[in-house]
Structure 1
Amino acid sequence: MSTKCVLDAGCGTGWLFDELSPSEAWQCDLAPPPSRRAGIRSSREDITSMSYPSGTFDVVVSSLVLMWVSELSAALREFHRVAKPGGRLVVALVHPYFAHAGHVVSDGFVINRDLSQEQELSDYFISGVVGPLTYYHRRPETYYNEALLAGWRLTHFLDWFVDMEHYERFAADRRTATRRTGWVPTFTFFVGEKDLSDVDTSGSGDAG
């Protein structure tokens, strides 16, 4: 499928379009950064109620964003609305079962949180700088089921593990207080597709 029109929804520093070069690149955030290269259209948006016309984007990317969103279902419905029929959604999450759920030990990872319970972590600062925010501990199936209810057909899933041999070479000359492990996944990804016959006629900026 062509990726000629891509939205980075919750773009953060705007790194995605350092890696991708679609013919049309759009990015939004609550405080979008200046474009890091020419041709990127940036706007300030609440991803639960965006101003884009329905059926605008071939691909919507949400990278490490949905853990911070209280209205998860509204965001996934908006992604579906602004995607073209046949469009794709790509979601990356800090792994719901292992983020803030325990700590690395010499021979693995120790869980010290009840993984059956969904929780909120208030007054959270990213890297001790950005915040305060609320981090939502959701079970993985919460994301999948809300995406299905929003109309997405889920097609791919991937858990990503740290390659410790590569990491130790990469980080050999770096100092970090964060310990890494390859025993549990660090990130998880899923992909959804919007049905070709699914045409939203609600107009721009209206999530319904």
Structure 2
Amino acid sequence: MRPVPEGSAGPGEQAAPNDYDSFAEAYSTQNETSLFNAHYERPAMLDLAGDVAGRRILDAGCGSGPLSAALRDRGAIVTGFDSSTKMLELARKRLGDDAALHLADLGSPLPFPDAAFDDVVASLVLHYLEDWTAPLAELRRVLTPGGRLIVSVDHPSIGLVQPGIDYFATYKHSEEWTLGGHTALMTFWHRPLHAMTEAFTAAGFRINVISEPLPAPGARELFPDIFVDKPSGAFVCFLFFVLQAD
């Protein structure tokens, strides 16, 4: 559940690290229209999911629910969880009082039985975690045999453009976001591609797809300044995986 801020709201209240509660409304509003969320990451996740009619899908780190809503509109039976109380309040407003939404943290055991879901979507979530071992084991546990885990994360090559950074290391980095008058320190974990793939296979997943998609059609017209130096329309931002539970 990560936005990429495209502007700043100016100085404001300093929130605790990774505290989405402090700017939930502003985050959700931006997420609806931003290039990186609305016209790149979310369409890519939906394309990778394909035909989801009748499939039981867990939205891990559902935020305010835009991906859950899109999957439900396509006929999926969606359950969501997030660690942010305020994000879940917004998700419930979007999805309705009867939506299956849970307060839970991917770093802890999940409140779902074994083999409860046909698919799990983890949209911009895993890069908040230092150790993927237990979270991936939990996601594997709640999937049916042959079920899919569809993941988006920060593209690891972003670390290559930072002087003095070892691409092959797993390391923590932080940045400040200002949204809705609140300035929050956001902390992420960079890991190289081989560390990601090794974590997936060690958890019992087969890697079916690694994707670096183009943005959705029409993005160039909506954000012309961003595409001035990108004649192909492609840019490095997130990396996507479709994994199958063995």
TM-score by length of 1: 0.74
- When residues 162 and 85 of structure 1 are mapped into structure 2, their CA distance, relative to the original with a 3 A threshold, is closer
2:123·2:151 contact (CA, 8 Å) conserved in 1?
A: yes
2: CA distance, partners of 1:171 / 1:15: 21
2: CA distance, partners of 1:10 / 1:19: 15
Alignment counterpart, residue 75 of structure 1, candidates 110, 131, 135:
135
- When residues 170 and 145 of structure 1 are mapped into structure 2, their CA distance, relative to the original with a 3 A threshold, is same
Alignment counterpart, residue 84 of structure 1, candidates 138, 144, 151:
144
Count of residue correspondences: 181
Return the offset for 1:57. 0.6
Q: Which residue of 2 aligns with 1:206?
A: none
- When residues 126 and 65 of structure 1 are mapped into structure 2, their CA distance, relative to the original with a 3 A threshold, is farther
Alignment counterpart, residue 43 of structure 1, candidates 92, 102, 117:
102
Q: Which residue of 2 aligns with 1:4?
A: 55
Return the offset for 1:183. 6.1
Alignment counterpart, residue 33 of structure 1, candidates 58, 71, 88:
88
Cα RMSD after superposing both structures? 2.9
Question: SS of the residue aligned with 2:63?
Answer: coil
Q: Deviations over 1:156-178 (max 9, x none)?
A: 11013458x95442125xx99xx
Identity %: 27
2:152 corresponds to which letter in structure 1? A
2:88·2:103 contact (CA, 8 Å) conserved in 1?
A: no
2: CA distance, partners of 1:70 / 1:142: 12
Question: SS of the residue aligned with 1:16?
Answer: helix
Between Structure 1 and Structure 2, which shows a larger proportion of helix residues?
Answer: 2
2:152·2:240 contact (CA, 8 Å) conserved in 1?
A: yes
2: CA distance, partners of 1:47 / 1:180: 38
1:41 corresponds to which letter in structure 2? A
Between Structure 1 and Structure 2, which shows a larger proportion of strand residues?
Answer: 1
Q: Deviations over 1:38-93 (max 9, x none)?
A: 35211111113211111101100001001101221111111000111121100011
Q: Which residue of 1 aligns with 2:121?
A: 61
Q: What pairs with 1:1-208 in structure 2 (closer than 5 Å)?
A: 4-21=55-72, 22-31=75-84, 32-34=87-89, 35=92, 36-38=94-96, 39-48=98-107, 49-98=109-158, 101-102=160-161, 112=163, 113-122=165-174, 124-127=175-178, 129=182, 131-162=184-215, 166-172=218-224, 181=230, 184-195=235-246
2: CA distance, partners of 1:40 / 1:95: 32
Return the offset for 1:194. 1.4
Unaligned runs of 5+ residues in structure 2 are 1-51
2:208·2:242 contact (CA, 8 Å) conserved in 1?
A: yes
1:40 corresponds to which letter in structure 2? A
1:67·1:93 contact (CA, 8 Å) conserved in 2?
A: yes
